[in-house]
Amino acid sequence: MDIKITSELKKITWPIFVESALLSLLGSVDILMLGKYSDNAVAAVGVTNQIIWMLNLIFAIITAGTSILISQYIGAKSDKKTIIQVAGISVGFNGLIGAILSILMVIGGTNILKFLNSPTEVLDLGLQYLGIVGGFIFIQAIIMTFTAILRAHGLTKSCMNVTITMNLANVVMNYILIFGKFGFPEMGVAGAATATVLSKFIGLIILGKLTYELIFNKLTISMFKPFPKIHFINILKIGIPSAAEQISYNLSQLAITSIINLVGVTSIAAKSYVGTIICFSYIFSSAVGQGTSIFIGRFIGNKDEKNAFKLLIYSLKRALVVSIIMSCIVAIVGKGILGFLTNNEEIISIAIKIFLIEIILEPGRCINIVGIGGLRAAGDVRFPVYIGVFSMWIFGVGLSYLLGLKLGLGLIGAWIGFTVDEWFRAILVLIRWKTGKWKGKSFVISK
């Protein structure tokens, strides 16, 4: 692999890694701090975050298309006006969808949580969190779009700095609002939700300023007359299949959450704690996947499929090594971390077993994160959907129901199902790259 490319990849990837870790922490810090408040609060936020993540994937329909399309246009050396049009359409559309979903979360939150079989003891707490965070979800929609635009231009360090600011603000406000410090009332779950929204609002302002200085200061209404519908169509052509695979994943997770909810509050809380800890096992893979996708998009825009494949293999090898090491570390230190978060021995016992399963699961997840991200960047956006929908529901949901509920393995049975799902898809993704069926699917024409 060209030394210049690998150097640029590292320069773009490490800020994404830090940012991804901090973004995970931003969502996890509510659970970590609420663990000192009550296990029911943790369970409530864990269930509610499944819904929030699902909403984020709706926004990803646009952001996935935006990032890939801008990367390909940059690789094809397209004019600035074209990139501004893509960015403007993305921000406008995601902002509108975000506003609509914010209203729906406020109006229909109770019905959504009941649909997921949420136990009575977590329903009210979950509704508090969903009403606040979900009610302001439009902020997240615009943040995600700004970030996609900046990352496609290689400004990953700027995004990282904003995320650091958001995290610091969230931790400070969580401490004040959850536990009622410095004269503020003790708000518990509502305090955690309020802190999350306020920290994201700070991020929105900073990212908006950066995006304006990058391209939107050159934006004029005349650029959209007549409306450049080809860009919107291409965004959807990329974004809908790209997000559909992720939406299917989260829908399957919602179904599994509904199954686990029938097992009991202990399993719900254990899933929340485990999810909070293991996310750090695949953050590096996620960062490498995102950085690699930016360059693969540029290679594809420039019709350089040979280097696109070389870069994918280079990135995948390194991500796999780190993924395996991190999952082993989590298995070793996981019990100690859990002991700090909860005193419930049943939760700790379940989680320790899951950490061991994770050692087998994570390499498969790594291949999917990097490999599928690369396929999308190359324009091969439908294949991941086909294999994803089949595998997630047959193996993920199916085995969770069979092993977890029917055979009484609970959360451990669900995790076995996750493992089979990840590896089934991983094998097919590797075959797809090896056979070269991803080639010739670019959305732009290089000059």
Choice among 35-49, 108-122, 258-272, 391-405 with the minimum mean pLDDT? 35-49
Q: Is residue 51 scored above 80 in pLDDT? A: yes
Tell me what the pLDDT averaged over the chain comes to.
Answer: 87
Query: If DSSP states are collapsed to H, E and C, what string results for 135-176?
Result: HHHHHHHHHHHHHHHHHHCCCHHHHHHHHHHHHHHHHHHHHH
How far apart (Å, rounded) are the C-alpha atoms in residues 141 and 303?
32
Considering the entire predicted model, what is its pTM?
0.76
Give pLDDT, residue 343: 79
Residues 6+ apart with CB under 8 A from 232: 89, 93
Instruction: Report whether 279 contacts 24 (CB < 8 A).
Output: yes
Centre a 10 Å sphere on the Cβ of residue 349 and count the other Cβ atoms it contains.
Answer: 13
How far apart (Å, rounded) are the C-alpha atoms in residues 146 and 76?
22
Q: Is residue 446 scored above 70 in pLDDT? A: no
Give pLDDT, residue 27: 57
Percent of the chain surpassing pLDDT 90: 39
Q: Express each pLDDT in 89-107 by its tens digit.
A: 999 999 999 999 999 999 9
Give pLDDT, residue 35: 67
**End-to-end Cα spacing for the chain:** 24
- Concatenating the DSSP letter of every residue in 313-375 gives HHHHHHHHHHHHHHHHHHHHHHHHHHHHH---HHHHHHHHHHHHHHHHHHHHHHHHHHHHHHH
